[in-house]
Each structure stands twice: as C-alpha cells, then as structure tokens.
C-alpha cells in the first residue's frame, strides 16, 4: 500500500483531499503568458503603453490577463489604470497577484520579443501613432492661442462632440469643433505632455498639471516645445456631467519687453497710481494685498512690483516667494514652489510648510502667491509682526472688502485695525481696451441706453470725451477691442478707517476713505479711463454698475 505524501505541516493530507500542484517556475509562467503569440500591450512598444512608474506595478496582455504586483494591489495607480483600460473597452480579466520581480521579467521578455527599432518605426503601433498626432494637435492649439495672446483655452468633451474655446480679451469664443473621441485623446495627450502632474491620468477625478519645459514626442525623436512667448501652461482637468472631461489651460506669457519688466503703467495703471505703488514698495514692514477674481491679473501686478522692488534696492535684499505653483520668473528672488499634492488638504499642508520654511530662511521681504486659508493668513501676519514686508493676493471684491474677507477667514480684529500691519489693499480688474482705429464717439449714438445714462451722470463733458466699441477693423482683427488694461483701486488705510470698517460701519469707512483720505473707488478709476478714450462706456457698466448710480458698499 503506497504511503501518502505529507503536507507542509508534516502530517498526511486528509483522505480524498486533492493534492496541490507544485508552484510554477517563472520561466513556465512567462511561457504560458506569451503563448500563442499573446502580447503585453502595456509594454513601451505595445498598443497601450503606460508610464514607467506604473509599468513596475502591473502588466496587461492582449487576451485580458492582468498581472499585478501583490505588494501593490491597493495602489491608486493600479486602480486608476484598471478604470481607464475598461473605459477604453480593453479586455481586463480579474487581477492575478504575482511577485514584483515577475512583472519585471514580463517586460524584459516583451523587450526581447519586440521588433528592431527600424522596424518599429516602420510598423509603429496604432496607439503610438495616435498619441503622436494628438501631441501635435495639442501643440498646434497652443501655438494658435499664443499667436493672439489668448489667456485661457477651454476644452469641453461633451456627449457627442468636443468644443475648444479661446478666451480672448476676457471673452469666450468657439475656435474648434471636433468629435468626442478626438477630444478625449487630446486631453490625454495634454496630460501626458505635462512636466508636473499626478502619476496617472484618471478621467473621473479632478486633477491639476503644469507644462513648463520640453517633452519628448513619442515615436518621433523630437520634442514638444512651448511657443516662444509662453513661459508655461497651467492645466486643470475636471469630470463633467453630460460629457467626459473639461480641461482648462491657463497660458503664462513672457514679458514682451524684458527691459521694462517692472513697468506697471504698461499694464494700464496711471502715473498717479504707479507713484502710490512706489511708496508701498518702500514700506519695510507690513502687509500689502492685491485682490480680485480669478483672471484679473493679480499675479502679474505682484510680479512687476517685486521686480521693481529688487531693482530699486539694487538687489541687496533677500526676497523669498512661496507660490503654488510659481507662475512668472522674478530675477533676483528665491522662488519656492509648493510640492504638487493630490488633495486640497495636502496642498494646504504643503503650502503652510513652505511658508513656515520661508520665515526661517532669513527673508527681508516675502511674497506669498495667495492667501487661501486661515493658517496661511496667520503665517503672513506672523511675518509682518516679526519685522518683514509681506506682499500677497486674495480673492475679494474690492479694496475695503479685503479687511472683511480676512476677518471672515478668522484673522483676529486687533491685527486688522493696526495700520502698522495693514499697509495697503489693492483691488483690480482687467478691462478691454478700445481699438483706437474704429472706436465710435458716443455722440454718434445718442439713443443708446448706456449713452443716455452717461449724459444723465456727466452731462455734455461725458458726451464729448467718451467712446463706444466699434464694429471692428483690420487693426483689431474685427473685434473692436485690442488687448486689456488694468483698472484698480488702491487703498492706503489709517487707524480711523480700519476701526470704522472692522467695527461694521462700512458706509462711514468708505465715505472717510473717499473724502478725508482722497481715495478713489474702482468706478472712479474706470470712468477716468473712459473719459480718456481707453475703455468704452459699456465696459465700465459691465464691471462697475450703471453709470448713473453710485457704488453701494
């Protein structure tokens, strides 16, 4: 009678229990995976290649076999890849968990089986060719946008079609319409071409990325280069209802004239306002805040002031910036980036860490890209209280609203009423500049509702000085406007103003500011530009309310 084999514990298996087969060797598993001409499609030469860091965790075969490193079965990159592969309608069987060294062996075998480079170039996979074309389409869109100084590109991949919008002079216009599949491929190519991004593209998640350098073009040997006048591109990827993806790209431009990089008047500020900024830059201690909505030019105003400050002080001060991410170069400053983080909570944590590090780095002046949270605000005030100058930006509707916004965030009132800390608040917007070649004097359209309100508010003087947007000409490419100009209100407060505002007496504070302190509201500044023929009457009403009404605070 044969003696039953013993199991791992040394005892004989129970009667009738199946005998376990000995584990297969790696060579046997590889032979089985690649049998019958089966291919690893996630290999660099496969039809669905993945990034190198993802490639070390998984391998997908043409027949659907899905091998995953057992040590990384819950890794977000694995889960994101599986979601994307299924959306692409690829066969994906239940994951088989294997040692990580087997994943490496799979790709080594796939590399040995790959055709020579020359043959690959001739027969290249459909996926590689599609990706190369999409990268070229992406670069073409960037080049077209940069040639007319588009501020933002919006790509909306809808249910049936893709629309590409250009925001020019603040207005959205449809530039391209294509099918849905083209849009999805284009958005993936934009993500793959980014220098700073999450590890994997996840179509159903909110993701941010940044393009700042040259990226190799897959399969061509060339590089995807940004247009000459573009410093970088900020990308925000969003899932949307009734579609798949919504991508917004913010183009960051280099200065047209590097010799005048610190010139605020080139942005649209008047000589009087530039002189106030000069005095604010001379302030050694305290906080100066530039406010406005997204896309109002806050970062550009901040950058130009920092360049001017360094020039005025012969680069003899230590200017440290903390930005998420750095947008424009400031020669002579130490620009500290915030590490790319996948969640808002981690972003706040990293931003706070970088800001705390800047305070320990012997700064003379600090520039904080944006105060978004109470912890960032408290560190900004800590910098001012410890003897530093601090410049930053904030989302607020007006200069006086900066104080109320900080109070709403939780900053203590005793800090907000101290004029030795609160040195200056600036609120700005970007107004479309009239084309000087086709603008129309308002006297030619006396029945226009805006013109009637203008006459009511400013009489014949306004009728003689103001203009409306024309029909367009060759100089403005048929738009009637040519670029944009900053209009801003600058507030340098004193103790009386701050006490009134923090105490809730907003109207008294505004009257005191515009009366005793000689301040000018956004509307007053915009009307000055209107009477100088820089912006039209309708643009003033668009941002500041009707001409025959006073601002309400």
pLDDT in tens, the chain (553 residues): 444 545 544 555 555 555 555 667 788 888 899 988 899 999 888 888 887 778 889 999 999 999 999 988 877 788 878 877 887 778 899 999 999 899 999 998 888 877 665 544 444 455 566 677 888 899 899 999 998 889 999 999 999 999 999 998 888 999 999 999 999 999 998 988 887 776 678 888 888 888 876 655 554 445 667 888 888 899 999 999 988 899 999 998 887 666 566 789 999 999 999 999 999 999 999 999 999 998 899 999 999 999 999 999 999 999 999 988 788 889 999 998 886 666 667 778 888 888 899 999 999 999 998 898 898 999 999 999 999 999 999 999 999 999 999 999 999 999 999 999 999 999 999 999 999 999 999 999 999 999 999 988 888 877 888 999 999 999 998 889 999 999 999 999 999 999 999 999 999 999 999 999 999 999 999 999 999 999 999 999 999 999 887 654 4
User: Does one domain contain both 219 and 101?
Assistant: no
Backbone phi, then psi, for 312, in 5-degree steps? Answer: -65, -25
User: Does one domain contain both 118 and 150?
Assistant: no
CATH assignment of the domain containing 134: 3.30.450.90
Boundary of a domain, candidates 97, 122, 147 = 122
Task: Compute the distance between CA of residue 33 and CA of residue 507 in angstroms, rounded to an integer.
Answer: 77
Q: Three-class SS of residue 213?
A: coil
Is there a domain that residue 540 lies in?
no
Is there a domain that residue 552 lies in?
no
User: Does one domain contain both 393 and 514?
Assistant: yes
Task: Compute the distance between CA of residue 284 and CA of residue 366 in angstroms, rounded to an integer.
Answer: 11
User: Does one domain contain both 354 and 494?
Assistant: yes
For residue 136, the enclosing domain spans 126-253
Boundary of a domain, candidates 122, 145, 175 = 122
User: Does one domain contain both 61 and 142?
Assistant: no
Is there a domain that residue 50 lies in?
yes
Is there a domain that residue 277 lies in?
yes
Left if phi > 0, otherwise alpha if psi is -120 to 50, otherwise beta: which for 44? alpha
Task: Compute the distance between CA of residue 432 and CA of residue 151 in angstroms, rounded to an integer.
Answer: 13
User: Does one domain contain both 161 and 102?
Assistant: no
User: Does one domain contain both 493 and 377?
Assistant: yes
User: Does one domain contain both 507 and 370?
Assistant: yes
Is there a domain that residue 551 lies in?
no
User: Does one domain contain both 393 and 511?
Assistant: yes
Is there a domain that residue 220 lies in?
yes
Task: Compute the distance between CA of residue 268 and CA of residue 272 in angstroms, rounded to an integer.
Answer: 12
Q: Is the peptide bond before 216 cis (omega within 30 degrees of 0)?
A: no
Hunting for tokens 């993802």 — which residue is that?
54
User: Does one domain contain both 110 and 140?
Assistant: no
Boundary of a domain, candidates 59, 87, 122 = 122
Q: What beta strand segments (E) does 381-442 contain?
A: 389-394, 422-434, 440-441
Task: Compute the distance between CA of residue 528 and CA of residue 535 in angstroms, rounded to an integer.
Answer: 9
User: Does one domain contain both 323 and 224?
Assistant: no
The answer to pTM > 0.85 is no
Is there a domain that residue 461 lies in?
no
Is there a domain that residue 418 lies in?
yes
Q: How far is CA 108 from CA 49, 55, 216, 534, in A?
A: 15, 12, 23, 65
CATH assignment of the domain containing 348: 3.40.50.300
State the Cα torsion 85-160-197-253 to the nearest 10°. 160
Q: How many folded domains does the chain comprise? A: 3
User: Does one domain contain both 168 and 57?
Assistant: no
């Amino acid at each position: 009678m044969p003696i039953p084999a013993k199991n791992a514990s040394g005892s004989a298996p129970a009667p009738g229990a199946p005998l376990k087969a000995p584990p297969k060797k790696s060579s046997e598993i590889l032979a089985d995976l690649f049998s019958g001409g089966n291919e690893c499609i996630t290999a660099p030469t496969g039809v669905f290649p993945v990034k190198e860091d993802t490639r070390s965790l998984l391998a997908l075969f043409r027949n659907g076999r899905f091998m995953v490193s057992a040590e990384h079965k819950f890794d977000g990159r694995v889960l994101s890849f599986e979601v994307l592969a299924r959306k692409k309608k690829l066969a994906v069987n239940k994951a088989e968990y294997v040692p990580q060294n087997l994943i490496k062996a799979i790709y080594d075998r796939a590399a040995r089986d790959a055709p020579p480079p020359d043959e690959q170039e001739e027969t290249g996979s459909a996926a590689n060719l599609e990706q190369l074309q999409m990268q070229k389409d992406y670069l073409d869109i960037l080049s077209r946008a940069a040639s007319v100084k588009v501020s933002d590109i919006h790509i909306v991949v809808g249910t049936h079609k893709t629309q590409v919008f250009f925001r020019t002079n603040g207005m959205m216009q449809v530039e391209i319409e294509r099918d849905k599949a083209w849009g999805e491929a284009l958005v993936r190519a934009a993500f793959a071409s980014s220098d700073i991004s999450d590890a994997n593209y996840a179509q159903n998640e909110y993701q941010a990325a940044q393009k700042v350098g040259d990226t190799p073009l897959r399969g061509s040997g060339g590089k995807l280069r940004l247009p000459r006048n573009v410093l970088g591109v900020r990308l925000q990827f969003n899932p949307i209802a009734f579609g798949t993806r919504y991508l917004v790209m913010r183009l960051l431009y280099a200065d047209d004239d590097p010799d005048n990089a610190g010139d605020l008047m080139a942005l649209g500020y008047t000589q009087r306002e530039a002189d106030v900024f000069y005095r604010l830059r001379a302030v050694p201690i305290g906080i100066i805040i530039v406010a406005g909505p997204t896309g109002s030019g806050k970062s550009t105003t901040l950058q130009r002031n920092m360049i001017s400050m360094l020039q005025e002080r012969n680069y003899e001060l230590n200017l440290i910036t903390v930005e998420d991410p750095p947008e424009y170069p400031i020669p002579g400053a130490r620009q500290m980036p915030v590490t790319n983080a996948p969640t808002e909570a981690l972003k706040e944590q990293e931003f706070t860490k970088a800001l705390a590090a800047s305070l320990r780095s012997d700064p003379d002046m600090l520039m904080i890209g944006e105060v978004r949270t109470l912890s960032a605000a408290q560190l900004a005030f800590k910098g001012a209280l410890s003897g530093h100058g601090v410049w930053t930006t904030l989302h607020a509707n007006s200069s006086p609203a900066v104080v109320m916004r900080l109070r709403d965030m939780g900053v203590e009132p005793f800090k907000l009423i101290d004029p030795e800390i609160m040195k200056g608040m600036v609120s700005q917007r970007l107004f479309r500049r009239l084309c000087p070649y086709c603008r129309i004097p308002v006297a030619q359209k006396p029945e226009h509702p805006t013109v009637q309100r203008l006459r009511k508010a400013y009489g014949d003087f306004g009728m003689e000085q103001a203009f409306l947007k024309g029909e367009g000409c060759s100089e403005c490419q048929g738009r009637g406007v040519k670029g944009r100009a900053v209009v801003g209100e600058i507030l340098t407060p004193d103790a009386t103003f701050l006490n009134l505002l923090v105490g809730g007496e907003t109207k008294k504070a505004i009257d005191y500011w515009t009366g005793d302190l000689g301040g000018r509201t956004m509307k007053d500044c915009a009307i000055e530009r209107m009477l100088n023929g820089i912006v039209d009457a309708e643009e003033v009403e668009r941002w500041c309310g009707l001409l025959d009404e006073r601002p309400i605070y």
